[in-house]
């Protein structure tokens, strides 16, 4: 049976340069037909996620209006998108944040500055394996 899931990745971060860096990291995947979407706040992220049904979401924690953990929780528990793979990206690296990410339902937790190779590998695995 053909996999009906989309090949879309959503990047959510209020900082433009982080969005650019993640996009640049995932450039090779774009050449393979992966569509990269981006949002600079939580509300837009939820709207795009619902509309585009991405397979993978990179989510910053500290954002205006709805923060990343809330977005994650809404995706996983309210929008019936429990299959979406959520990676929390944060500048903090404390145990407390890791725990809160897990409670929000995140699948993975990465700290900034992220390792580009690790991020690309993770995205490839989620989308193609």
Partner 1 sequence: MPASPLRKLIKSRDVQVLSNLFSTLDPSLVVLDLEKRPLLGNSATPLEDSPELTALNHNGERVGWVASRDNPVCQSSTAAFLEYWLDKETGQRSLAAEVLDNYRELHLFYRFSEKLAASLQQDLIAQLALDEICPLIRSTHGYVALINEENNDRNVIAEYHQRPEQIPWLAQAGDFIQGVIDSGSAELTHLTADGQPIESERLAAISFLCAPLKTDKRLLGLVFLVGEGPRRFTAGDLKLVYAIALQTAPAIEIAFLHQLELEKTILERDLATARRVQAALLPQIMPTLKGWRIAALWQPARMVSGDLYEFLPFNDGKLGIAIADVTDKGVPAALIMANTRSVMRAVVSIMNRGQSIGPGKLLAEANRILHEDIPLGMFVTCLLVVLDPQTGEITYANAGHNLPYLRTTGGVLQLRARGAALGIFPESEYEEFSTRIQPGSTLLMYSDGLTEAHNPAGAMFDYPRLQQLLADQVDGQPLEAETLLKFLMSKLHEFTGPAWVQEDDVTLVAIERLAG
Which among 8, 50, 21, 6 is positioned nearest to 119, based on CA atoms?
A: 21
Which tokens sit at 50? 């619902």
Is residue 109 a contact residue for partner 1 (CB under 8 A)? Answer: no
End-to-end CA gap in the chain: 15
Is residue 62 a contact residue for partner 1 (CB under 8 A)? Answer: no
Is residue 31 a contact residue for partner 1 (CB under 8 A)? Answer: yes
Q: Which stretch binds partner 1 (CB under 8 A): 33-41, 56-64, 76-84, 102-110?
A: 33-41
Scan for tokens 């409670």, then name that residue: 103
Q: In whole angstroms, what is the distance from residue 37 CA to residue 52 CA?
A: 9
Is residue 91 a contact residue for partner 1 (CB under 8 A)? Answer: no
Is residue 26 a contact residue for partner 1 (CB under 8 A)? Answer: no
Judged by the rule CB under 8 A, the positions of this chain that interact with partner 1 are: 17, 20-21, 23-25, 30-31, 35-38, 113-118
């Amino acid at each position: 049976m053909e996999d009906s899931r989309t090949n879309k990745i959503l990047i959510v971060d209020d900082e433009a340069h982080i969005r650019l860096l993640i996009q640049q990291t995932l450039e090779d995947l774009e050449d393979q037909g992966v569509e990269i979407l981006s949002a600079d706040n939580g509300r837009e992220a939820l709207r795009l996620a619902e509309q585009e049904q991405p397979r993978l979401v990179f989510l910053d924690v500290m954002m205006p209006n709805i923060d990343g953990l809330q977005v994650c929780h809404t995706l996983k528990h309210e929008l019936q998108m429990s299959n979406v793979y959520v990676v929390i990206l944060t500048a903090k690296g404390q145990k407390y944040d890791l725990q809160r990410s897990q409670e929000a339902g995140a699948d993975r937790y990465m700290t900034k500055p992220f390792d580009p190779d690790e991020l690309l590998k993770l995205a490839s695995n989620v989308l193609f394996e």
